[in-house]
Amino acid sequence: MLTLLKLLKDGRFHSGQALGAALGISRSAVWKQLQNLESDLNLSIHKVRGRGYQLAAPLELLELDQLAAGPWPVTVHHSIDSTNAEALRSIERGVTAPFVIVAERQTAGRGRRGRKWVSPFAENIYYSLVLRMDGGMRQLEGLSLVVGLAVLSALRGLGISNAGLKWPNDVLVANKKIAGILLELVGDPADVCHVVLGIGINVNMKLANEVDQAWTSLALESGAAINRNVLVSALNESLLKYLELHEAMGFSAIQAEWEQNHLWQGCEVSLIAGVHQVDGTVIGIDQQGALRMSVDGEEKVFSGGELSLRLRHDS
């Protein structure tokens, strides 16, 4: 099926006879594969008598030969449950970190707090970087915020100048989510462990009825399709830069830069933890990446993976 998809990706018409000849199969077998492409990948294929078959829009696929020059080994999957899940399985199999896993589609993509991450085929970036951490807890301090800053830098490099950060794990444009981050840890965080840096970026997606929050994409913001191979390469380089800085100097070295890019700095917010809610004003973050808030005139600090930050309706 993937070979057929590569023949069709240019968005032009291809006859069933030509496709069959290229694949070494009958025209009826081509027809069955086309039906599978439509049903399995939710792709729209035009069928015109006398002209053949055409994708509703051209596809730009992730190409390993374009990504192999990056700082880490890359594996490209056609379809997978989630890149983070495959990363965790790879750790169990003993694959040597660091390495990157990307996919054209996720069938069970995950966001923070168990939320579904909508993952249509060949439209967005579904990316996981696996790192081995030997230095104990210091290397984990503020790590998700470091990753957010790296993602932001990559997006701005592609012209999304009005993107900004939301504590702790989101990148927004005009309060619409354009990227999210999910970190997962295995091993002993006080000694030797592996951390999976999962990143999802809305790239060329223009319609997604399943998303239950305000969202946008690079294509919607820029008005043009984005080359995802270029974006993955830019993301690799940006992550390398910020991770090396974090490893050498700790999170405090980029604390001020993160605060400068926090869209909700000084805003009135509600911090949600399960059924509990704390209302206050964002002051900033501390040297470990925890959120500093003014609550009833008193500064309080909050951290934890299950916290959710929202703007107050009356702010």
Question: Which residues have a catalytic role annotated?
Answer: 112, 177, 310
In whole angstroms, what is the distance from residue 60 CA to residue 201 CA? 16
**Angle at CA 149, nearest 5°, toward 305 and 92?**
55
Annotated binding site for biotin: 82-84, 106, 110-112, 177
Q: Residue for token digits 């596809």? A: 59
Residues making up the binding site:
82-84, 106, 110-112, 177
Whether residue 242 contacts residue 204, with contact meaning beta carbons closer than 8 Å, is answered with no
How many CB atoms within 10 Å of residue 85?
Answer: 19
* List of residues 6+ apart from 84 with CB closer than 8 A: 110, 128, 182, 184, 196, 198
Those residues whose C-beta lies under 8 Å from the C-beta of residue 63, and which sit 6 or more positions away, are 76, 229
Distance between CA 223 and CA 80 in Å, rounded? Answer: 29
